[in-house]
Amino acid sequence: MPAETHELRAGKLFSVQDYVCVVTGGGTGIGLMAAQALAANGAKVYITGRRAEVLEKASKWHDPNGGTGSIIASVTTDVTSKDDLEKLVDYISSKEKHVDLLITAAGISGPKAEPDTKDAKDLKAKLWDNESFEDWNKTMTTDVSAVYFTTVAFLPLLQAGSNVKGHLTASVIVISSMSGIMRHAQGHFSYNAAKGGTVHLTKLMSAEFQKAKIRVNSIAPGYFPSEMTTNESGKDNKSEIPDEKIQEKGHVPAGRPGEDEEMAMAVLFLARNNYVNGEILAIDGGVLNVVGGR
């Protein structure tokens, strides 16, 4: 049906009023940015992670006081544990009859070893000695396998959300990375390989789960401030990256890190646009225009 002009207001188009959302890794970084964006626009957002104190702090600092949305610290969850994921689903099921949006933001960076020498013997030594099968397995398990099993665990609640709205609407947003698209290793072979797996997993799940009326898309962030990128956060669970640090990299046309508002726009777009399924939305400040990808 053609829309009346007044129906195209941003507040109407991107409202998530009364949505029920779950965000893994929601206590810090991009997960917290997503939780804030949703709660600010009327959603009830359950955040989870491994550290109870981090979840409680995030809820205390960033709950939109006076608004209709909320950020709720749920049970702690190790996303690499099926038992923990089932406990999380049971907890959400005890509070809600459905879920409209799942965001899988939990992840780790993995080992780092710079391939910055032309001598093959030196190259082997740097990569062989600084990485292990155990490191790779942990990165793959957290950044790829856990995304899959988290999504699978929530399928019934997500389908219930679609049935409530009556059309393809409940969805999953997978937080991948521009690192999963580019060909530059950045010294993070395991992380970039894992994020490449996450990107393709998004496409697989989007195709297979649409029969259950569940959309799956991914946000591939560039340099956004988080504990993963800065190794720290403040009393409000927020991190900062000086513009100069980004400019030193020499491959970021925007010349600065991404901002909370920019991540919020992407989250709301993918949460609300029912005609988007299986897409990877890069928010990278132009990096992939400079560094080879895909």
Which amino acids are annotated catalytic? 176, 191, 195
Residues 41, 100 contacting (CB under 8 angstroms): no
CA 273 to the chain's CA centroid: 17
For residue 293, what are the β-bridge partners?
182
DSSP conformational letter for 63: S
- Tell me how far apart the alpha carbons of residues 50 and 27 are, in angstroms, rounded to a whole number: 9
Which of 170, 140, 154, 11 shows the shortest CA–CA distance to 80?
140
- Tell me how far apart the alpha carbons of residues 72 and 251 are, in angstroms, rounded to a whole number: 38
- Tell me how far apart the alpha carbons of residues 200 and 197 are, in angstroms, rounded to a whole number: 5
Q: What is the CA radius of gyration of the chain?
A: 19
Number of neighbouring beta carbons within 10 Å of residue 195: 26
Residues 22, 46 contacting (CB under 8 angstroms): yes
For residue 103, what are the β-bridge partners?
23, 173
Which of 263, 291, 288 shows the shortest CA–CA distance to 26?
263
- Tell me how far apart the alpha carbons of residues 159 and 192 are, in angstroms, rounded to a whole number: 31
CA 22 to the chain's CA centroid: 11
